[in-house]
Amino acid sequence: MTAHQVEIPVPEHLRRWHELDAATVEPGSVGFVWGNCQAESIRRMVAPAGAEHGVEFVRLPPVFEMDEAEVGRLHELVGVAGVLVTQPVKDEYRVPGCGSEQLVALLPADARVVRVPTTYYEGLFPWQVHAHDAAGARVDAPLTDYHDLRLLQAATRGWDTDRAMAAIETARLDPEAVRELAAASQRELRRRNAALDVDTTDSVVAGGAEAMWTVNHPANATLREVGAGVLRTLGWAGEPAVPDHQMLGSSRAPLDTAVLAALDLDPAAARPRWELAGRDVPWAEVAEAQLGFYAQHPDVARRAVDRYADRLAALGC
């Protein structure tokens, strides 16, 4: 290391990952769960059962944090792995070789593969979307990471926070459009899961208002179905190890009373505002931060509004 280089300490939760050496790992003794922000929750649920069967499920960074060098290390380690649990990841999604089927191709002949879903459900959050830059890369919104179509549209109209909030508070929601969006999202979830070893659609529907915290952060009850499916596919007895706390519950999106009513769900489950890291965040605080961002990045807002124009019209925005 030169005088100008600074050694970055390894985070404690990833120390084991950085310590592994494919040359010294006993073949078949390690397993990995590959995917997005849901992958670590799945690993936690199946790790105890893996230990009972001689497989150490090692924590990885999510795919969107992996660089090319780390994916190269993963290639070496997958070559001696006993189990790979993977969400669908496209070939070359971010860096060469990061696709799920690219990893499967590197496994030993006797290794086990379990393909699990990326649970994404829009039914409870009809206004919540992702936005992208001109190159197609996802752009996170300030505070929440997620964008709200009503604020995106307000930005394209040049509204300030007060006017945007007034429009949100007085808007009339079309309940039929909410039901149609939920049904379409359920159909899409089942379609994407059809070729996998686990399908979370039924657990999302059964979970009602408590199935998801955001469009892509499932509650424990939904995630449990994935853990149970992994154990079932591997033929391992027992139940997934689900903790008492909500694994992906640090950010909880608002649940609108009108949305719950349209879906015949308990209105007592409504959440009037964002909950971020245990803090209730007023809508006005979110609106001010995000409208300020869109003022600096108008193309992000315009691109999202154009992409979701049909949904905006259907919802009555």
pLDDT of residue 7: 53
pLDDT of residue 14: 83
Check whether 6 has a pLDDT greater than 50. Answer: no
Average pLDDT, the chain: 94
The CA distance from 295 to 291, in Å, is: 6
pLDDT of residue 111: 98
User: How does pLDDT run across 48-70, given as a tens digit for each residue?
Assistant: 999 999 999 999 999 989 999 99
- What is the token pair recorded at 251? 């950010």
3-state secondary structure of 34: strand
pLDDT of residue 8: 56
Q: Is the pTM of this model over 0.85?
A: yes
Nearest to 161 by CA among 281, 285, 272, 315: 285
Number of H helices, E strands in the chain: 13, 13
Check whether 207 has a pLDDT greater than 90. Answer: yes
pLDDT of residue 2: 52
CB atoms within 10 A of CB 152: 27
Nearest to 125 by CA among 277, 262, 226, 225: 262
pLDDT of residue 85: 98
CB 185 within 8 A of CB 179: no
User: How does pLDDT run across 141-186, given as a tens digit for each residue?
Assistant: 999 999 999 999 999 999 999 999 999 888 888 999 999 999 999 9
Check whether 214 has a pLDDT greater than 80. Answer: yes
Domain boundaries, the chain: 12-115, 128-193+250-315
Q: What are phi and psi of 80, to 5 degrees?
A: -120, 10
Q: What is the mean pLDDT of residues 213-220?
A: 97
The CA distance from 48 to 56, in Å, is: 9
User: How does pLDDT run across 133-153, given as a tens digit for each residue?
Assistant: 998 889 999 999 999 999 999
Lowest mean pLDDT among 5-14, 208-217, 276-285: 5-14
The CATH code of the domain at 12-115 is: 3.40.50.12080
The CA distance from 44 to 47, in Å, is: 5
- Non-local (6+) Cβ contacts of 30 within 8 A are 20, 55, 56, 57, 58, 77, 80, 81, 82
Q: What are phi and psi of 281, to 5 degrees?
A: -110, 115
